[in-house]
Amino acid sequence: MSILEIIAASAGVLSVWFARKNNVLVFPTGIVSVLIYVVITYENKIYAEAGINLYYFVMSVYGWVLWTSKNSKIKKHISENTKSENILCVVLFSSFFMILFFVLKMTDSDVVFLDSITTALSLTAMLLLARRKLENWIFWIIADIIYIPLFIYKGLYITSGQYFIFLILAVSGYFEWKKKLENEKN
């Protein structure tokens, strides 16, 4: 447990809270969290997680630009995936998982499978979040359920607690976004 882990976890919880509220502050608070977690996860040999935090940084900048741009082609409101977008998500997730699994098999990581699956889920979720797709929450929920015991195993108890809070926020975020989506349709 370190002060950096506490700061990263606190900023991470704030970021997911803002995501749940469909508030652009999801991105700057997320940036603080993910940059610190690059270091923490690398030091704990959770290599794909360290890498995904760099991806989160890039996607946070991307999402921040999309959400604040007046000329963005991305919808300003929450939407659902089309059938073809759902198929693309499955293909992306599967591709991410296979690539990560084979790359991580060449490292000294002792959590190759869990690191690969959680990272693949999260890569897909972050792309969907940046594009304001309701389905982002489903990917986050599944990932969070797996992350909690992974971080306990690694002795990152604060981070595990953070992911428990993420799980609660993701479930409530799904229902909150679904309600907003239905209200926008009416």
Segment 89-117, tens digit of pLDDT: 999 999 999 999 999 899 888 999 999 99
Q: Which amino acid is at 136?
A: N
Task: Decide: 1 and 157 in contact? Cβ < 8 Å.
Answer: yes
Q: Which two tokens stand for residue 122?
A: 């999260």
pLDDT of 111-140, one tens digit each? 999 999 999 999 999 889 888 899 999 999
> What would you report as the CA-atom Rg of the chain, rounded to the nearest whole angstrom?
16
In the predicted model, is pLDDT for residue 72 greater than 80?
no
Please report which confidence band the pLDDT of residue 74 belongs to, taking 50, 70 and 90 as the band edges: low
Map out the domains of the chain as residue ranges.
Answer: 3-69+83-185
Task: Take residue 6 and report the two structure tokens written for it.
Answer: 């506490």
